[in-house]
């Protein structure tokens, strides 16, 4: 349970307004939600798509409750704001304890978001797909690009540190060295993963995309979760494992869905 002692209410946002006004805004949203109130709350908590204020993390249980009440537009607004807050955890760890204090809030937001995926398509589906991953505790996978029509990841070889370009898209699925003038050279095809033998969370990401009809995402994930070969030293490595290790800090929160669980 959150207490006032866990939040620095003297903190001010970029507008130099005190954060104790955040709870007053949430009270007003619970009584009579409106688009203007949601816009004001977003402006107070989110700066350039990220949350850097303790009050935002303290608000997650209230946002979880708001995501379960009222009209659809207000439920959606609560999920969208909460997802932007939780995605920031990948880079901002000052307030991890505020999030850990009420894990049920994330579990609720995760299941609410997951239930919305069937019937969604395109960018809307991708956005909610990654929001579900964020609420499940996998903030790294919620923040990277998954545009498998033309995706590029820069990875250093774990053996020789050669900078490799991992390409997954309409132009091919390969590892290579990117030359300024010649483009991608020394291309070696990626070996896709078998979804049936992935760890459970990655398997559920793939299976959810496939079940919801996003074949491009589902197919691309098999390559992202597959194996690449370094074109300099010939070592083979798992792309997702090494990309996550190079770019992700320690897990900011305990996952709602452990890697050994089967309920993503």
Is 67 exposed, middle or buried, given 0-12, 13-18 or 19+ CB atoms closer than 10 A? buried
- pTM, full prediction: 0.85
Structural contact between residues 109 and 256, judged by C-beta atoms closer than 8 angstroms: no
Ordered per-residue pLDDT tens for the chain, 264 residues = 444 445 555 565 555 556 678 888 999 999 999 999 999 999 988 988 888 888 888 899 999 999 999 899 999 999 999 999 988 876 667 777 777 778 889 999 999 999 999 989 999 999 999 999 989 888 888 889 999 999 999 999 999 999 999 999 999 999 999 998 998 999 999 999 999 999 888 999 999 999 999 999 999 999 999 999 999 999 999 999 999 888 766 555 556 555 544 344
Query: What single-letter DSSP state applies at residue 56?
Result: H
Q: What is the pLDDT of residue 51?
A: 86
CA distance 233 to 162: 9
CA distance 24 to 94: 23
């Amino acid at each position: 349970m959150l207490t006032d002692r866990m939040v620095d209410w003297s903190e001010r946002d970029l507008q130099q307004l005190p954060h104790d006004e955040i709870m007053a805004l949430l009270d007003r949203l619970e009584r009579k939600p409106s688009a203007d109130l949601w816009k004001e709350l977003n402006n107070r908590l989110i700066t350039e798509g990220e949350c850097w204020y303790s009050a935002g993390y303290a608000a997650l249980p209230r946002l979880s409750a708001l995501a379960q009440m009222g009209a659809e537009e207000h439920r959606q607004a609560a999920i969208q704001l909460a997802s932007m807050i939780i995605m920031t955890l990948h880079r901002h760890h000052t307030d991890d304890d505020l999030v850990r204090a009420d894990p049920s809030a994330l579990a609720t937001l995760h299941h609410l978001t997951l239930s919305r995926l069937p019937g969604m398509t395109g960018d809307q589906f991708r956005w909610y797909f990654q929001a579900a991953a964020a609420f499940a505790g996998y903030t790294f996978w919620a923040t990277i690009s998954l545009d498998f029509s033309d995706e590029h990841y820069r990875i250093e070889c774990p053996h020789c540190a050669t900078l490799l370009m991992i390409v997954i898209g309409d132009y091919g699925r390969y590892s290579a060295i990117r030359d300024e003038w010649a483009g991608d050279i020394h291309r070696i095809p990626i070996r896709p993963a078998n979804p049936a033998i992935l760890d459970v969370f990655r398997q559920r990401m793939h299976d959810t995309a496939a079940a919801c009809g996003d074949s491009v995402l589902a197919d691309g994930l098999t390559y992202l979760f597959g194996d690449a070969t370094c074109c300099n030293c010939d070592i083979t490595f798992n792309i997702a494992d090494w990309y996550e290790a190079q770019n992700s800090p320690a897990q900011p929160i305990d996952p709602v869905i452990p890697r050994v669980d089967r309920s993503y």
